[in-house]
């Protein structure tokens, strides 16, 4: 193999020498000197040494001047890519963005307190009894809190609203079905008619002038048309179908309870 390489090198050297002698003979008539290209004077070498292009760029095709070999131009982003960059929205909102219509901590507590107060219409957390106009006591048509003796359960519900609690109360050989409403308790007989009415809340109106829980005993006695004994703790008045019964506080002489009880 080494012999073949040496032979090829000798042939190549002889060819180059013959070409050089031929060129010298053609230019001898004009006394022109054939410059021998050296690495220092080669335009290709100067181009390769004076540019930042990659080594492959320094190789020039035949027939192209070295000045025509330029480094590739810098690529600018296309309009489409610029539009994409401009249309990219931030993925995280601004931290200090204003928050509209957000109440402060104090306002939130005030709103919460107002809502709580609105949901508690009375001091005990229950709905207050409905007020009714007051009138003079009528012994022929007795009533208490707008409920008369013998009223049906439907009439009582229409006047007093929903039932809060109910239970049975034995009364001798019978059972009274008791129903608690807002400020009033009503007892019904077995056939569903009112036979017992009692005020249970000082805010409940009796519907009778001078009679109510917390009212003075003297006013209650005057409303019933009865004299008030200094030591009396109970006021009783017989009426059509029943009686009014009023208990007085022994210390304050104020009304403790007001009842309308039907007679058997």
The model's confidence at residue 60, banded by pLDDT at 50, 70 and 90, is very low
Q: Is residue 218 part of a domain?
A: yes
In this prediction, what percent of the chain has a pLDDT beyond 90? Answer: 47
- State the pLDDT at residue 166: 96
Confidence label for 80 from pLDDT (cuts 50, 70 and 90): very low
Question: Looking at the domain assignment, is residue 78 inside a domain?
Answer: no
In terms of pLDDT, which residue wins out, 120 or 206?
A: 206
User: Which range, of 71-85, 150-164, 174-188, 195-209, averages the lowest pLDDT?
Assistant: 71-85
DSSP assignment letter at 66: G
153 contacts 192 by C-beta, under 8 angstroms: yes
Mean pLDDT of the chain: 73
Examine the pLDDT at 103 and tell me if it is beyond 70: no
d(CA 194, CA 259): 12
- The last residue of one of the domains, among 158, 187, 205, is 205
Same domain membership, residue 182 and residue 154: yes
| Assigned domain for 158 exists | yes
Residue 123 in domain: no
Domain stops at, among 187, 205, 223: 205
22-31 tens-digit pLDDT: 665 555 444 4
Is the pLDDT confidence value at 160 over 50? yes
> How far, in Å, CA of 153 to CA of 219, rounded?
31
Instruction: Compare 86 and 187 and report the one with higher pLDDT.
Output: 187
- 69 has pLDDT over 90: no
- Shared domain for 222 and 189, answered yes or no, is no
Mean pLDDT across the stretch 126-141?
A: 83
Between residues 136 and 33, the one the model is more confident about? 136
- Domain assignment present for residue 50? The answer is no
Which pLDDT score is estimated for 240? 96
Buried b (16+ CB within 10 A) or exposed e, 130-145: bebeeeebeeeebbbb
| Cα–Cα distance for residue pair 54/39, rounded to 1 Å | 19
* Claim: this prediction has a pTM higher than 0.75: no
The position carrying tokens 């003979």 is 25
Give residue 221's Cα distance to chain centre: 58
- Does residue 117 fall inside a structural domain? no
> How many Cα atoms within 13 Å fall on the side-chain side of residue 120?
9
pLDDT, tens digit, 9 for 90 and up, residues 208-258? 999 999 999 999 999 999 999 989 999 999 999 999 999 999 999 999 999
Q: Is residue 200 part of a domain?
A: yes
Residues 195 and 236 in one domain: no
Residue 36 falls inside a structural domain: no
User: Into how many domains does the chain fold?
Assistant: 2
Q: Which of 170, 185, 205 is the last residue of a domain?
A: 205
User: H-type helices in the chain, by residue range?
Assistant: 2-27, 43-49, 79-87, 105-118, 153-160, 217-224
Answer yes or no: do 185 and 227 share one domain: no
Tell whether the torsion through CA atoms of 198, 199, 205 and 209 is positive or negative. positive
Domain that residue 223 falls in: 213-264
Q: Do 183 and 219 share a domain, yes or no?
A: no
Distance, CA of 54 to CA of 123 (rounded, Å): 93
In the prediction, which pLDDT does 132 show? 86
């Amino acid at each position: 193999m080494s012999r073949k390489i040496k032979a090829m090198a000798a042939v190549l050297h002889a060819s180059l020498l013959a070409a050089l002698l031929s060129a010298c003979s053609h230019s001898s008539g004009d006394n022109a000197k054939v410059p021998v290209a050296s690495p220092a004077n080669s335009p290709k070498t100067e181009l390769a040494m004076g540019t930042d292009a990659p080594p492959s760029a320094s190789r020039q095709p035949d027939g192209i001047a070295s000045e025509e070999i330029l480094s590739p131009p810098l690529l600018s982003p296309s309009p489409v890519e610029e539009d994409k960059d401009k249309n990219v929205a931030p993925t995280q909102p601004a931290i200090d963005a204003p928050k509209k219509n957000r109440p402060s901590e104090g306002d939130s507590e005030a709103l919460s307190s107002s809502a709580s107060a609105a949901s508690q219409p009375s001091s005990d957390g229950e709905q207050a009894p409905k007020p009714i106009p007051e009138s003079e006591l009528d012994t022929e048509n007795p009533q208490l809190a707008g409920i008369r003796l013998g009223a049906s359960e439907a009439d009582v519900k229409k006047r007093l609203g929903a039932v809060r609690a109910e239970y049975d109360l034995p009364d001798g050989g019978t059972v009274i079905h008791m129903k608690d409403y807002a400020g009033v308790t009503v007892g019904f007989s077995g056939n569903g008619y009112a036979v017992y009415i009692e005020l249970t809340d000082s805010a409940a109106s009796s519907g009778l002038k001078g009679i109510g829980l917390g009212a003075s005993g003297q006013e209650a006695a005057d409303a019933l048309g009865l004299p008030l004994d200094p030591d009396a703790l109970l006021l009783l008045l017989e009426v059509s179908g029943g009686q009014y019964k009023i208990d007085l506080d022994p210390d304050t002489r104020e009304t403790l309870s007001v009842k309308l009880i039907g007679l058997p």
